[in-house]
């Protein structure tokens, strides 16, 4: 589980969320720029979680989507690593 939680994409998304939360502490009004920043953070978090899920699925031998970072050669590499560990 630690290997999935310490991915750079997730750490970046969490750090960005903390930064946005700190920005809400100030008495500044909520503007369209703030809304875009939160939207961007949500998209970044969703992509990071999706990459972790795809990598986990590939390691377990399941098929992943073609646009995933774990597809193609990477998926085959992860599958062979899993088969070596189980043997």
Percentage of the chain exceeding pLDDT 70 = 72
Domain count, the chain: 1
Confidence band, pLDDT 50/70/90 cuts, at residue 71: low
**Confidence at residue 23, expressed as pLDDT on a 0 to 100 scale:** 84
* Rg of the chain over all Cα atoms, to the nearest angstrom: 17
Confidence band, pLDDT 50/70/90 cuts, at residue 37: very high
- Distance between CA 23 and CA 50 in Å, rounded? 27
**Rounded mean pLDDT of 6-12?**
78
| Least trusted range by pLDDT, from 6-15, 51-60, 64-73 | 64-73
* Domain containing residue 31: 2-86
- Distance between CA 36 and CA 31 in Å, rounded? 9
Other beta carbons within 10 Å of 26: 7
């Amino acid at each position: 589980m630690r290997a999935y939680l310490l991915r750079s994409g997730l750490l970046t998304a969490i750090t960005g969320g903390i930064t946005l939360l700190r920005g809400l502490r100030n008495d500044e009004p909520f503007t369209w720029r703030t809304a875009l920043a939160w939207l961007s953070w949500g998209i970044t978090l969703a992509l990071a979680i999706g990459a972790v899920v795809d990598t986990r699925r590939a390691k377990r031998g399941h098929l992943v989507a073609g646009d995933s970072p774990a597809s193609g050669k990477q998926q085959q590499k992860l599958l062979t690593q899993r088969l070596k560990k189980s043997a």
